[in-house]
Amino acid sequence: MTKEIKRQWIVFGAGLLAFWGNIVLREKEMIVGNMVFPFFLISYILLGYTVFRHVIRNIEKKQYFNENILIVMASAGAVGIGRYTEGNLIMMLFAFAGIMEDMLMKYSRNVISKLMDMQPTVAVKKVRGKEYKVAPELLKIRDTVVVKPGERIPVDGVVTTGETTVDSRMLTGEMIPQTAREGDRVYGGSINLTGVIEIRVIRTYQESTLSRIRQMVDDAGGEDTENTTMTGRFMWKYIPAVIMLAVAVAVVPPLTFSWGQWHEWIYRAFLFLIAACPCGLLISEPIAFLGGISAAAKHGVIIKGGRFLEYLTEADVFIFDKTGTLTEGVFEVTEVHPTEITTDELLKYAAYAESYSNHPIAKSLQRAYGHPIDKKQVQWIKETAGLGVSATVEGKRVHIGNRRMAKKHGAEYEQVESGGTVLHVVVDDRYAGYIVAEDTIKEEAYDLIEWLQKKVHALTVMLTGDRRSAALHVARKLNIDYAYAGLLPKDKLEQLEHFQGLKEENEKVVFVGDGMNDAIVLKKADVGVAMGALGCDAAIEAADIVLLEDDLSRLAGVIGLSRETCRVVKGNIRLAMFVKIVALILAGLKLATLRTILIVDLAVMFVGLLNALLISKYPME
């Protein structure tokens, strides 16, 4: 329990004692006449401490129409016309509900905080062969840190010595431990399971991925949803209407058919205000969204605000980047077509020529060759932008690249139409054949696209900077509705804006990318979803939803979570409105007292809260 909540309980408790003390003193006639009002006013102010603070904050934000204003108007009016007990009771019940709301909000945030509270308090820094224990906050970039089995990795770094397996499920939601070798990146908060490793710090404690994620979750939990969610938009119209109707109830009858009976109709107006106040509705909605955010965080998905859960339920256009999102971003050799040499020789020349490159295609050639490469046999390497690579391999001049490379060296190359990347190989100015390397489509992409089209009835679109043939190859295999190729980031933005211009007011467009070069599009989309963005600053900053692990199937889980969250919110709305209508009718017929209405409303409020908290257990499978 925080200091603020403790303070609220202490003040509320003092008000409660004062209230019941006033009732006892009044019944024993120890306070009478003009003494009654100041005594009950003191208890009223103490009981309403939390509510008054909310009113002040709302006024500072220029939010004048909300449930706190209604409660203050109704309860103060009841006290003003001599209904001291009812006025204090109104404030007592509503203040109690407000404190419970703050506690539940704190509980929901604690669920996320405990989930993300994985930063160790001590790091072992290595300096000139000696080890020193320091606070992680004192580590600097390029420092060397030693991490032993069972310890948490303190900050983001690159493994420089050793090999181990790393458990990062509390960070990414990935249940299977990952192997980390020299050159691999590891993230703060992950657990070192098996071996001793040394890492070189690449991000300070404050800038580490875990710290950024925690800040993002805190921002999401503290999001002001006023006018951004279904309830907020409804309340902006509902509350002014209720206040005007209450004024009409108080003024019109005494001036017409119930002439002069001001006391009776003012009391009925206050009764109307209390009956119409949607306490349960307004309290249960933010808790429901926080529950959804908490459930997502447990599965390695960070959602920056509750409104994005609602937006996902309204999405009917899903736009995907290709490379790294729908495809693995890892190339594999799928075809080898030699002309005057053998298959093994063609792969050897290609692999040797590309042996100094770290490009995914170069790596695929080396894997396809499958033999050790003696780099001493490679000389005079030259890379030509837009063409390919030239190198001397075992005394022969080898050129590997696109058809323009082959044409430049006068070789009669074959015209090839393929969905993959075609690499033409020229050896000593003679055409030696071509190799096709393809980017593998993710297995989960097939199921997701089919699910979106059949279950969500969504339009699917693919945007890529790749060649037209490669784009069509992927689009046809996945049965995507529209595909656009050869796009620069600004071209992708134009296509996104085109689809946004076609949608209806209550429809949303979702963009899903790998976060590396699509920051502008992620930011502009109604909902930007970054794939596999662990450690990617651009994605964390630009996206509204971040899938920390590179698992496309989790998008379906997030959509399912958003539907369940909004289902609970809508159910709470229906329940609250039904009770309000019944209460208003009973109040109008004088069949319900203030106490009865408040108790029923409080019960509805807690039903909504308990219902919303169940969302945090949503499995997202």
Residue 526 is predicted with a pLDDT of 92
Task: Give the range among 269-273, 284-288, 434-438 with minimum mean pLDDT.
Answer: 284-288
Percent pLDDT > 70 in the chain is 83
Q: Is 201 helix (H, G, I), strand (E, B) or coil?
A: strand
In this predicted structure, the answer to whether residue 191 has a pLDDT above a threshold of 80 is yes
Residue 124 is predicted with a pLDDT of 92
More confident of the two residues 559 and 29: 559
Query: Among all chains, which residue has been given the structure tokens 């109604």?
Result: 526
Q: What share of the chain is helix, strand, coil (3-state, %, to 5)?
A: 55, 20, 25
**Mean pLDDT value of segment 144-168:** 89
pLDDT band at residue 198 using 50, 70 and 90 as cut-offs: very high
Residue 528 is predicted with a pLDDT of 92
Highest mean pLDDT among 31-35, 232-236, 335-339, 403-407: 335-339
More confident of the two residues 523 and 125: 125
In this predicted structure, the answer to whether residue 452 has a pLDDT above a threshold of 90 is yes
Residue 141 is predicted with a pLDDT of 92
Residue 281 is predicted with a pLDDT of 63
CA max distance for the chain: 115
- Sequence spans of domains, the chain: 123-204, 303-327+441-554, 328-440
CATH 3.40.50.12280 fits 123-204, yes or no: no
In this predicted structure, the answer to whether residue 220 has a pLDDT above a threshold of 50 is no
**Mean pLDDT value of segment 304-310:** 83
In this predicted structure, the answer to whether residue 95 has a pLDDT above a threshold of 60 is yes
Q: Which residue type is seen at 286?
A: P
> How far apart are the C-alpha atoms of 297 and 302, rounded to whole Å?
5
More confident of the two residues 614 and 106: 614
In this predicted structure, the answer to whether residue 105 has a pLDDT above a threshold of 60 is no
pLDDT band at residue 555 using 50, 70 and 90 as cut-offs: very high
**Mean pLDDT value of segment 564-593:** 77
Residue-averaged pLDDT of the chain: 81
pLDDT band at residue 468 using 50, 70 and 90 as cut-offs: confident
> How far apart are the C-alpha atoms of 329 and 531, rounded to whole Å?
12
| Model confidence, pTM | 0.66
CATH topology (fold) of 328-440: Calcium-transporting ATPase, cytoplasmic domain N (3.40.1110)
In this predicted structure, the answer to whether residue 477 has a pLDDT above a threshold of 80 is yes
In this predicted structure, the answer to whether residue 109 has a pLDDT above a threshold of 60 is no
With residue 360 as reference, give the H or E element that holds it: helix 360-369
**Mean pLDDT value of segment 266-289:** 71
Fold agreement between 123-204 and 328-440: no
Residue 46 is predicted with a pLDDT of 92
CATH of 303-327+441-554, one of 1.10.357.10, 1.10.472.10, 2.60.40.1930, 3.40.50.1000: 3.40.50.1000
pLDDT band at residue 114 using 50, 70 and 90 as cut-offs: low
pLDDT band at residue 280 using 50, 70 and 90 as cut-offs: low
Cβ neighbour number for residue 595 with a 10 Å cutoff: 13
More confident of the two residues 89 and 40: 40
**Mean pLDDT value of segment 93-102:** 72
Q: Which residues of 95-121 are buried (b: 16+ CB within 10 A; e: fewer)?
A: bbbbbebeebbbebbebbbeebebbbe
The one catalytic residue in 143, 321, 526, 551 is: 321
Residue 229 is predicted with a pLDDT of 59
Highest mean pLDDT among 50-64, 89-103, 201-215, 439-453: 439-453
In this predicted structure, the answer to whether residue 327 has a pLDDT above a threshold of 90 is no
Residue 262 is predicted with a pLDDT of 84
Residue 226 is predicted with a pLDDT of 47
471 close to 441: Cβ distance less than 8 angstroms:
no
528 close to 542: Cβ distance less than 8 angstroms:
yes
In this predicted structure, the answer to whether residue 76 has a pLDDT above a threshold of 50 is yes
Task: Give the range among 184-188, 381-385, 522-526, 555-559 with minimum mean pLDDT.
Answer: 381-385
More confident of the two residues 166 and 532: 166
Cβ neighbour number for residue 7 with a 10 Å cutoff: 12
> How far apart are the C-alpha atoms of 303 and 314, rounded to whole Å?
16
Highest mean pLDDT among 10-14, 93-97, 103-107, 164-168: 10-14
pLDDT band at residue 221 using 50, 70 and 90 as cut-offs: very low
- Whether 550 is a known active-site residue: answer no
Q: Is 608 helix (H, G, I), strand (E, B) or coil?
A: helix
With residue 328 as reference, give the H or E element that holds it: strand 327-338
pLDDT band at residue 318 using 50, 70 and 90 as cut-offs: very high
Tokens of 430: 């003679």
Contacts of 422 (CB under 8 A, 6+ apart): 402, 403, 416, 434, 435, 436
Q: Which tens digit of pLDDT belongs to each residue from 225-277?
A: 444 556 666 667 777 888 888 889 889 989 888 888 888 888 778 777 776 76
**Mean pLDDT value of segment 315-325:** 89
Cβ neighbour number for residue 1 with a 10 Å cutoff: 9
Going by C-alpha positions, the residue among 321, 291, 287 that lies closest to residue 547 is: 321
**Mean pLDDT value of segment 143-147:** 93
pLDDT band at residue 66 using 50, 70 and 90 as cut-offs: low
**Mean pLDDT value of segment 125-144:** 90
**Mean pLDDT value of segment 414-425:** 79
